Amino acid sequence: MRQIRTSRFLGASARTVGSARPAPAEGAPGEGSLPRPAAGRDLPVRPRYLGTPDGGRSFEFEATESCRAREALLAIGVARRTAAELLEGGRVLCAGEALSQARRLGAGQRFAILPRELPAAAAPAPAGSPADVSVLFEDEFVIVADKPQRLLVHGDGTGADTLTARVQALLDRRASDGSAPARRAQALQRLDVDTSGVVLFCKVPEFQPPFDALVAGAAGGRDGGDGVLPAGAGRPRMRKRYLALVEGAFDARRAVLRDPIARDRHDARRMRVSPTGQAALTTVELVGTVPFHGRHCSLLLVELGTGRRHQIRVHLAAHGHPVVGDALYGAGSLVGEGLMLHAWREEFVHPLTGRRVLIETPWPSRFPARPARI
């Protein structure tokens, strides 16, 4: 087995391999004590999520202060148009009574949201096998899958197999046997076809906006000079870390790369470092060095502060350490492993339950053996 000579790993924490169990976040708001939404400073404190008593067909909340029904929905993160549709359609109930937009809820009063279920005829199963989905984490709102290498996340119009189709097939199978309501899988993250690892999907479109904001908060904003992006006042924060095996000996224990990134005017497939490009932030930690198929390589732990196309690949190649197997920015494949880039770990505070979620994939088999310190 190939062994890695490790350096001291910075910021290691407890992990859950292959699945994730929600746990209260240290120093973060616990369940029922979520902060006031940043998007609407005049909105009430976000209602407390109580659960789903019927397997995801309805979702119960408790108002944390007196407010109108519409304000309560907006405070949860429901889009304005969706909130109006839910209320006008009689799908927001309090003690069994449909609420109007102006109806007031008292502090501590409970109400239920009934998302729209997809009729079977309106949700034909796409080409995909539910047996081919590795589920890392799932609750009533989201499902997280481990994307294999060389599999598209979204369809490209050719009819090729996709991760979205596989996840949808799993949801359709549950709906057909009555174990769950019919739902539509919507990918909230993207990975290049040759990159493997964590991809988050939303199952309930009425509750997608808070997760969109969470994902956007993981790839935007300005750092404080140390490569760490602050969450800001009320802004959600997600940390997503990648494993990258790169060419050569990376010469720093930790590096913060801030080179702006732009499109390559001479090759539409490529991006490039350019002073006229968009701001980009990549934080890199050296895990160790390893001989890999006769080459001297470095294993890195990489975290994105922005979400530019091919950002990790462009930044590392620009600093003389292209990702192993990168045919676009480096020397290409060595012996068939393909691109040695993997979305390994994702951590966030759930925007609806307020609980900390840590998701980690099993160690990718195409990589050198996992160091003991991570």
The pLDDT score that the predictor gives to residue 22 is 43
* Rounded Cα distance, 5 and 197, in Å: 24
For CATH 3.30.2350.10, the residue range(s) in the chain are: 5-10+235-360
Query: Which of 340, 280, 286 minimizes the C-alpha distance to 315?
Result: 280
The CATH number fitting domain 48-113, selected from 1.10.10, 3.10.290, 1.10.3470, 2.60.40 = 3.10.290
The pLDDT score that the predictor gives to residue 254 is 96
Q: Tell me, what amino acid is at 264?
A: D
For CATH 3.10.290, the residue range(s) in the chain are: 48-113
Q: What is the CATH number of domain 5-10+235-360?
A: 3.30.2350.10
Strand 356-360 relative to strand 238-247, pairing? unpaired
The pLDDT score that the predictor gives to residue 26 is 35
Name beta bridge partners: 138: 143
Query: Which of 199, 212, 62 minimizes the C-alpha distance to 133?
Result: 199
Computed on alpha carbons and rounded to an integer, the radius of gyration of the chain in Å comes to 22
* Rounded Cα distance, 147 and 343, in Å: 9
Query: Which of 355, 310, 305, 301 minimizes the C-alpha distance to 328?
Result: 310
Which of the 8 DSSP states describes residue 130? G
* Rounded Cα distance, 338 and 18, in Å: 22
pLDDT in tens, the chain (374 residues): 444 444 433 333 333 334 444 443 333 333 434 444 544 457 889 999 999 999 899 999 999 999 999 999 999 999 999 999 999 999 999 999 999 999 999 999 999 999 997 765 344 445 566 668 999 999 999 999 999 999 999 988 888 899 999 999 999 999 999 889 999 999 999 999 999 999 999 999 999 999 999 998 765 544 444 444 444 444 567 999 999 999 999 999 999 999 999 999 999 999 999 999 999 999 999 999 999 988 899 999 999 999 899 999 999 999 999 999 999 999 776 666 889 999 999 999 999 999 999 999 999 999 999 998 88
Single pTM value for the model: 0.83
